[in-house]
Structure 1
Amino acid sequence: EGSGEWKERGTGEMRLLKEKKSGRVRALMRQEKTLKIIANHYVVENGPYCSLKPNAGSEKCWVWMANDYAEGEQRTEQFALKFGNPDLAKAFEKAFNEAKQENADIISGEKAVKKEAEKKDEKDEEKKDE
């Protein structure tokens, strides 16, 4: 660890999955042969996390950091994902950024609902005091 070298976790298909209950989107990737989870994190709009950057100027490779749960507990990891061609990389960037926005909208909606509930509780308390 800490050698600054890239460690290949494997090849496979990166999926952006929407949770049925919360609607939040996470990135999940399994190793092609073993099906072991090699990436599992929410796609968040919270720099520096999930900020896609081209790797060494390549049009086919994205790098980003995330709080990952592939090993079962949270670890900040840096990922590099290489595609077969630039069009696939562009399509991934678009889907990834849309997922970030969806999650940001859900989180801000949850905050608004919570704030509204707190206001209602305060008004209820004021009425009790009268």
Structure 2
Amino acid sequence: MSEVEKKEEETTTTTTVEKTEEKKEETSSFAPAAEIKEYAADVEPNVEYEATLKRDVVEVKTNEENEDTLFEIRAKLYRFDTDPSPQWKERGTGNVRFLEDKDSKRIRVVMRRDKTLKVCLNHHISPALSLGEMTGSDKSWVWKCPKDFSDEEKPEGVEELFAIRFATPENAGLFKTEFQKCQAKNEAIEKKTE
């Protein structure tokens, strides 16, 4: 190797060594991890947020304020749909309740869907209603309601065939017992008003 080639090789080696030393110096300019932890522990964030939109408190009426809950149990409600082909369609899942009006003492059955709280069952418990067993299930009941008022699009009420299913046969039995008690109370009230 000639002297010129040796000098060029030494120069490139020196430049490479200098560059790596510069990189080491750059990375070593950060504080050690222990110092960062101490600093982070000393600093407390002081962040305050103000609401950009102020909301007014609105009182929501459910039309259940003047009623007492006599019975409440969790269930799944179905309605029988004949259009276009006959089949059971799920109406909602939630708590079905028997509510007694404080003034008239009439009892109605109401059910609201879980998350939306939209009414999916709402009618008076008439003595004419017949609660029957659903074929093939000891956890379900079926009844035909002459006027259900849960559909907002039809405030005059609509005739529906309902099926209700419970988690256990015991819950279904409790529902039937309470349903029949409410029917008897409403029948006594109707006889008094006649």
TM category, shorter: 0.7 to 0.9
The runs of 5 or more residues in structure 2 that have no matched partner are 1-80
The count of aligned residue pairs is 108
Identify the match of residue 119 of structure 2 among 10, 28, 37.
37
What residue identity is the alignment partner of 2:105?
G
Percent identity over paired residues: 39
Q: TM-score scaled to structure 2, two decimals?
A: 0.54
Q: SS at 1:27's partner residue?
A: strand
1:87-123 per-position Cα deviation (integer Å, ceiling 9, x unaligned):
1000000000000010000000111xxxxxxxxxxxx
1:4-54 per-position Cα deviation (integer Å, ceiling 9, x unaligned):
1111111011100001111000000001111000000000111xxx21111
Structure-to-structure mapping, 1:96-107, within 5 angstroms: 96-107=179-190
Are 1:108 and 2:191 an aligned pair? Answer: yes
What residue identity is the alignment partner of 1:6?
W
Q: How far off its partner does 1:82 sit?
A: 0.4
1:77 alignment counterpart: 160
Are 1:5 and 2:87 an aligned pair? Answer: yes
Q: SS at 1:8's partner residue?
A: strand
1:37-93 per-position Cα deviation (integer Å, ceiling 9, x unaligned):
0000000111xxx21111114110001011200013310111111001011000000
| Distance (Å, rounded) in 2 between the aligned partners of 1:110 and 1:26 | 17
2:64 alignment counterpart: none
Q: SS at 1:62's partner residue?
A: strand
Structure-to-structure mapping, 1:54-73, within 5 angstroms: 54-66=133-145, 67-71=147-151, 72-73=155-156
Runs of 4+, deviation exceeding 3 Å: none
The runs of 5 or more residues in structure 1 that have no matched partner are 112-130
Q: SS at 1:101's partner residue?
A: helix
| Distance (Å, rounded) in 2 between the aligned partners of 1:39 and 1:76 | 12
| Distance (Å, rounded) in 1 between the aligned partners of 2:165 and 2:191 | 32
Q: SS at 2:88's partner residue?
A: coil
Point out which structure has higher relative CO (alpha carbons under 8 A, 6+ apart).
Answer: 1
